[in-house]
Structure 1
């Protein structure tokens, strides 16, 4: 037998689902006998029996004494919710089983799915904004997130929908400064930020005080993450520091003005007395870490500044330069809502920390730490 039967029974069931959904198999049509289907699929009769039992549980077929197994659920449109959901769960189970059989853990599979979703969003739109949920502020249970891009935000959004189905996280990746400004203007409920203040050598708190004067807020540490140079695999140009960005063979891809990454870069260039004008590609901007990695992957640039998890998602090289703190900022008025507290519970959970750790380049030892700012 060529295929693992754990996967094969699901493939048989999926193929039959599609034939039922398309109308090829109609109500009361008889399926091949277990032995005949086993012969056609090059598997054991037990594998076919398991596939038929799965379809029976879903209400698509039924076994009849002396009459074999017949289709009982007909007239499905291809996007009928019942069939669509059953098919989606089946595919998710197959993905999980394949991941485990390849030596991965369920946590790693979950992290990989989060990366895939983030990459899909990058391909679907050239605009920096993305949404998770039912839209922007159209429901009391919609939490409006505005701020810097990070893969852990996608994980957080998905886990929130699982823990509190009535709540949705509407995501707008506009950079750290943009997020805090949206919070100040009451256009967001949460801001995601990782702004380093050169004068105080501190993350986020000085900016919260400046942009939210007279307002009490809480900064909840989401992650500490590794920031560095994203390069092609094996770093063929042997780039070792920000000073190497001035080399004539280096083509840089930058983050947008106002992003925490850009603020940090500009401060470091100033400290090194490097003029942005001598960096090829400095004026070319993208809005997320994944977009930086994608540009390097597609050979549109030879180097970019971003997080380790983005480099890992595209199989690229990474040279760590610093570790930064990424906080979620809640105004005091929104902190005690049930949705905000659901987010806080998820952030403190072992499941969230393990899934974030599986992405690579993250430290969750202080995840969930709370600091009040006024």
Structure 2
């Protein structure tokens, strides 16, 4: 083994001991002579390893006092270095996997849990990737296909990123209108025409050239506990005194659909326990029911399936992507819309449970 490579091995070994807590702040490190004997190398090789660690702020050498782990060392400093940073992440992931697998979970369950957690955090993460040359600012209704796109956007559009803000359907259209968004996601049902999205878009963008692209049709209904122990089958059941409901936020397409249908049925929101308990995503609604904090919520079949909950189908809804036509015909949206029209795009979406992709990619220009 060459001396040039060996000094890095020595430095990496000491870094790992610091990271794993074997070496604590202010602990004294072995002398150069001790490490020379241990590694069977020259003193210069050990000195080079110590110099690298000192430059990284991990150790301090003082004449006559030896070499010690820095008192001011922070975990962030340790994790800042590429190979060790990645290795540390893998180590933590493997430790977590070992813990959950030994408690009875299987790998598909763990993978699905990670997917749901990432779905949640992407919704909270508003800052785009600073290294990306193309940024798509998305505002709109929460959707699992959207979060999938955000995680795979570089495969579709190289060196790009999606900035997600789940503001609800109406909030997405408003953000598009005032210039905060490049792309809006919406599924607003209009009771008067029994259609989705177009009536709202025409009202909010009079005289504007707008492109509407179909993302997917989604199955929406009542998310309930496994086996539906409360026997909840229709919106009228939400008024039963013993039923606890969890709602979506005002301005979301799901909430618009619910309120319109409650009005049609002559049901007041005051008759529903938990109507004021609002969540911003379908995943949060499903999680609330899975944790036993509510009996039922209105949401997507895909969210119910992800949490292994029951589902009562009520409606097939249309989720559309909306952009100013001038922007839609330029990169990066042009490539994204072309991908949605492709067989590959339709296949990806069609394989997701609770989604239909026969019309994915179809466009209307207003």
TM-score with structure 2 setting the length? 0.71
Shift of 1:168: 1.3
Aligned in 2, Cα 1:164/1:87: closer, same or farther, shift over 3 Å?
farther
Aligned in 2, Cα 1:314/1:19: closer, same or farther, shift over 3 Å?
same
User: Which of residues 151, 154, 163 is equivalent to 1:161?
Assistant: 154
Aligned in 2, Cα 1:110/1:152: closer, same or farther, shift over 3 Å?
farther
Aligned in 2, Cα 1:103/1:79: closer, same or farther, shift over 3 Å?
closer
Which residue in 2 is equivalent to 1:187?
180
* C-alpha distance in structure 2 between counterparts of 1:90 and 1:274, whole Å: 54
- Say if 1:148 and 1:176, in contact at 8 Å, map to a contact too: yes
Could you list the runs of 5+ residues in structure 1 that have no partner in the other structure? 1-15, 30-71, 122-127
Aligned in 2, Cα 1:129/1:109: closer, same or farther, shift over 3 Å?
closer
User: Which of residues 295, 299, 304 is equivalent to 2:297?
Assistant: 304
* C-alpha distance in structure 1 between counterparts of 2:289 and 2:348, whole Å: 26
Could you list the runs of 5+ residues in structure 2 that have no partner in the other structure? 1-12, 24-28, 30-34, 36-48, 57-77
Q: Within 5 Å, which residues of 2 pair with 1:1-374?
A: 19=16, 22=19, 77-85=78-86, 114-120=115-121, 129-131=124-126, 133-134=128-129, 141-372=134-365, 374=366
Give aligned pairs, total. 304
- Say if 1:160 and 1:346, in contact at 8 Å, map to a contact too: no
- Say if 2:141 and 2:252, in contact at 8 Å, map to a contact too: yes
Shift of 1:272: 1.3
Shift of 1:295: 1.4
- Say if 1:293 and 1:310, in contact at 8 Å, map to a contact too: yes
Q: RMSD across aligned C-alpha pairs, in angstroms?
A: 3.7
- Say if 1:183 and 1:189, in contact at 8 Å, map to a contact too: yes
Shift of 1:140: 6.5
* C-alpha distance in structure 2 between counterparts of 1:187 and 1:131, whole Å: 12
TM-score with structure 1 setting the length? 0.70
Shift of 1:85: 4.2
Q: Deviations over 1:183-211 (max 9, x none)?
A: 11111111100011111111111111111
- Say if 2:220 and 2:300, in contact at 8 Å, map to a contact too: yes
What is the SS of the residue equivalent to 1:338?
coil
* C-alpha distance in structure 1 between counterparts of 2:132 and 2:79, whole Å: 30
Shift of 1:91: 9.6
* C-alpha distance in structure 2 between counterparts of 1:305 and 1:115, whole Å: 18
* C-alpha distance in structure 2 between counterparts of 1:164 and 1:228, whole Å: 34
* C-alpha distance in structure 1 between counterparts of 2:18 and 2:344, whole Å: 36
Q: Which has the larger radius of gyration?
A: 2
Aligned in 2, Cα 1:21/1:296: closer, same or farther, shift over 3 Å?
same
Shift of 1:169: 0.7
What is the SS of the residue equivalent to 1:238?
coil
Q: Deviations over 1:41-99 (max 9, x none)?
A: xxxxxxxxxxxxxxxxxxxxxxxxxxxxxxx9x96944422344467689999x9xx9x
- Say if 2:132 and 2:159, in contact at 8 Å, map to a contact too: no
Shift of 1:255: 0.9
* C-alpha distance in structure 2 between counterparts of 1:346 and 1:87, whole Å: 36
Aligned in 2, Cα 1:233/1:110: closer, same or farther, shift over 3 Å?
closer
* C-alpha distance in structure 1 between counterparts of 2:335 and 2:213, whole Å: 13
Q: Deviations over 1:218-248 (max 9, x none)?
A: 1111111110111111111010101100111
* C-alpha distance in structure 1 between counterparts of 2:160 and 2:344, whole Å: 19
Q: Which moved more, 1:240-249 or 1:75-84?
A: 75-84
- Say if 2:133 and 2:159, in contact at 8 Å, map to a contact too: no
Shift of 1:166: 2.5
